[in-house]
Structure 1
């Protein structure tokens, strides 16, 4: 039986559907048909502009972003696809908090929908720190298909971990 660590919180019937697709070697084809495109955001400057555009559209009053970048150190072993941090620095006699978003580098070669979902998730943390009901409502406000994209992203991560895949 295939271990579906990214899908453990989902109902057994959905997990079984994914297992059947893996067993019949159809999971990769499903993902390619559903998400055929790859995004054009390939560097930190473009990622910053992309995140700023989303922030301006949905979260104008949220704190400013000081840095948005792809991070090669974020990976699945740390269970972090993105991080939202506030780095405190002393400037003069004041303590300033710089808001940073780091996105796992594996999203450089992902579908645009997956990149948007991760950026939306991290931007939502500017307003809602916890994964609460309000947090997910905000995510859904910025990306109406958020929950489906999160599920499909978890299926994609499962596929990426299969032997001889990627």
Structure 2
């Protein structure tokens, strides 16, 4: 499955039962679009163990991500390796704050969800340059006890950088 979230930011759901079975919050995969391409790391934004799929969200920033964005349902990815990396340290802390700007919202989704499932109070702060670049607001709200949204230009929600609510 492929979904365009906002301009130049895309979501892919990839069938990969072995990765989905082992994925944990904070891990990533390494992909190579074709035999001549470079390998790039992408954070696992979500997974479905029963379906055997994982979700990745990426921004078009270079040749590899541009070529990846051209793929559609049923297309082949040469290499899809993972899960890799040390999972995030998930335990009961009390209150945790998850902060992400731009497309990094996808990287904190599994962490916020896991922290909440562990019994923490989760405050999430998400931001973007403007309203047109906000995505997954409802999704992040669903795994958070409180969600604060910022836009640099004030076109939506609270005006300011994503880090400014930390001062409160």
How does the TM-score come out when normalised to structure 2?
A: 0.24
Structure number with greater Rg is 1
Q: Which has the higher contact order (CA 8 A, sep 6+)?
A: 1
Which of the two has greater helix per residue? 1
